[in-house]
Amino acid sequence: MKSGADARESEGSTVAELVQARWGDHRAGLRFEDRVLSHHQMTAGAAARAALLTDLLSSHGEPHIGVLLDNTPEYPQWLSAAALSGAAVAGINPTRRGAELARDILHTDCQILVTERAHLPLLDGLELPGIRTLVTDTPAYEDLLAPYADAAPEIARTVGPASRMLLYFTSGSTGAPKAAICSQGRLAAAGRSLAAHFGVRAEDTHYICMPMFHGNAVIADWAPALAAGAGVALRRRFSASGFLTDVRKFGATYFTYVGRAVQYILATPAQPDDRENPLRIGFGTEAGAVDAARFQERFGVRLVEGYGSSEGGAAIQRTPGTPAGAIGRAAPGDDLAVVDPVTLRECEAARFSPDGRLLNGAAVIGELVNRGPNPFEGYWRNEEAQAERVRDGWYWTGDLFYRDGSGHFYFAGRTDDRLRVDSENLAAAVIENILARYPRAAAVAVYAVPDPVAGDQVMAAVAPVPGAGFDPHDFAQFLLEQGDLGTKMAPRFVRVLGRMPVTATNKVARGELRRDAFRCPDPVWWRPPGAAAYRRLTPADVSTLLAEYRTHARDHLLTR
């Protein structure tokens, strides 16, 4: 086997081959807390676990293992072990509870569940028939692995590019989470592509602080490091306050983010030496142009906003000359279009003011579709969801976009983030990008609440920067100064909270915000119909509003 300096850095049509190529490489491969493991040690650990899997998995069931772990060295070792043995990993979300957690494990037909002592209470009382549980941080687990300590990283004869590698759950905001299938070939190709695109080097270190049960951490962070022979550094759970300390400690040069992680890092107190860090690049989604600019100014690190649907059906790549705020152009081979889901017609091109503000938002926002061949590999045992994703021969992403006359795409939110105010269609992400300019806000989120009569009203949640508080008059003046804030876009309700609620993957928990609407424990400011100024929403106001909902038989739309 070749060692680090001359290893086959970008070869390998399967993840198993990429894992095997690290055997004999004694450079630092993984850093976690105060531990350092070489690539060779990680591969040896994977080989031992693969050999164990061969003995434990029954040929009468699916070769699937559930992994219910924080970001510890066990996680990438089990990913690698699954690749070598031809098994598939179902990433289990530790924020799920009770019947929902059991459903995820059973739905993916796991024969084995790998977990740790900290998560054992989550399994109390769950009915998981026929599933063997391995608890990693126990003597029994070490005893179980011991006979396989000298195993070499052999690739099972059944392994090929089409072998299932991942069953990772997509958002469950519109029902039970769907388990998207990712093959070894697709994951290896994604790793090689990202490594080439970002110039990942063998001497780089990828910082993985997003949870590894999610596709972002595995596909966009772990896989390109594996393809390039780079090291990884793990953070058990994301910490905004620990981010820069970790980056310096581990010598991290690359990281990925999802959702509001960037906002939380920016909300930490600025220090004069923030730019003294080894990072070269950050890659992710939903940071927004304003926060990306702030991040680069403060830390000297460029954030690249990318887009690739979790299921692999569409991808947008940032290329030189991409305008500010745009994601990029369609990846080679993709026939992407922004389509009105009712008429199936392409939306018109976006027009901008001289200072780059969107002028015709209502007419240009539609759902992103891929009309050509795509690598979507389906959902595990969910034909209904699969048929919804692929309709009329097109792959429907479920995401809202708009496109300019040069073919650059701009993200506008999820399809269920669309609002309809006074018969005008709006996208939450477009309004959020405007509100993100408010200097007193550390984080903002925009979502729909039902109008008492028809359609929706705009509601915003605002988390002020520490010590700033919320001044409704200052906020109202800020809105008046935003030339691209349409007359229907100004929030009717503003919820002021200390911290934005987020999911386990650091995306805003919009479902929770929508369920609360204006009946929440936090202060809410509102503009009554016809009023220009915000005032505090009182219990009497809530009673009057609820009576109006009942009058128009729309009170059932308020879910609390």
Q: Is residue 533 very low, low, confident or very high in pLDDT (cuts 50, 70, 90)?
A: very high
pLDDT of residue 171: 59
Cα–Cα distances (Å) from 484 to 33, 164, 198, 435, in that order, read 46, 46, 34, 11
Single residue among 218, 237, 256 that ends a domain in this structure: 237
Residues 110, 206 within the same domain: yes
Question: In this structure, is the dihedral angle defined by the CA atoms of residues 119, 125, 126 and 128, taken in order, positive or negative?
Answer: positive
Q: Is residue 449 part of a domain?
A: yes
Q: Is residue 314 part of a domain?
A: yes
Residues 382, 509 within the same domain: no
Residues 404, 525 within the same domain: no
Mind listing the pLDDT tens digit for each residue in 184-221?
999 999 999 999 999 999 999 999 999 999 889 999 99
pLDDT of residue 415: 75
Residues 430, 348 within the same domain: no
What pairing do the DSSP bridges indicate for beta strands 28-32 and 231-234? parallel
Q: Is residue 175 very low, low, confident or very high in pLDDT (cuts 50, 70, 90)?
A: low
Q: Is residue 110 part of a domain?
A: yes
Helix (H, G, I), strand (E, B) or coil at 530: coil
pLDDT of residue 11: 62
| pLDDT tops 90 at residue 461 | yes
Q: Is residue 431 part of a domain?
A: yes
Least confident among 113-127, 184-198, 540-554: 540-554
Residues 466, 521 within the same domain: yes
Q: Is residue 255 part of a domain?
A: no
Structural domain including 357 reads 306-417
In angstroms, the CA 323 to CA 511 distance is 32
Cβ contacts of 288 within 8 Å, gap of 6 or more: 432, 433, 436
Residues 436, 409 within the same domain: no
Residues 73, 200 within the same domain: yes
- Give the CA angle between residues 326, 327, 331 to the nearest 5°: 135
State pTM to two decimals.
0.81
pLDDT of residue 441: 93
The whole-chain average pLDDT of the chain stands at: 90
Q: Is residue 74 part of a domain?
A: yes
Residues 96, 179 within the same domain: yes
Cα–Cα nearest to 66, from 161, 133, 143, 142: 133
Residues 223, 343 within the same domain: no
Residues 373, 458 within the same domain: no
Single residue among 177, 210, 237 that ends a domain in this structure: 237
Single residue among 400, 417, 434 that ends a domain in this structure: 417
Q: Is residue 150 part of a domain?
A: yes
CATH number at residue 341: 2.30.38.10
Give φ, ψ of 308 to 5 degrees: -155, 120
Cβ contacts of 193 within 8 Å, gap of 6 or more: none
| Domain count across the chain | 3
Residues 347, 427 within the same domain: no
CATH number at residue 44: 3.40.50.12780
Mind listing the pLDDT tens digit for each residue in 139-174?
999 999 999 999 999 999 999 999 999 999 875 444
| pLDDT tops 70 at residue 530 | yes
Q: What's the farthest any 2 CA atoms get from each other in the chain? A: 76
Tokens of 426: 């709006």
Q: Is residue 292 part of a domain?
A: no
Residues 146, 183 within the same domain: yes
pLDDT of residue 172: 47
| pLDDT tops 80 at residue 551 | yes
In angstroms, the CA 226 to CA 206 distance is 10
Question: What is the average pLDDT across 497-518?
Answer: 87
- Which letter, b or e, does each residue of 382-417 get, where b requires 16 or more Cβ atoms within 10 Å of its Cβ? beebbeebbeeebbbbbbbbbbbeeebbbbbbbbbb
pLDDT of residue 81: 98
Residue 403 pairs in a beta bridge with 409
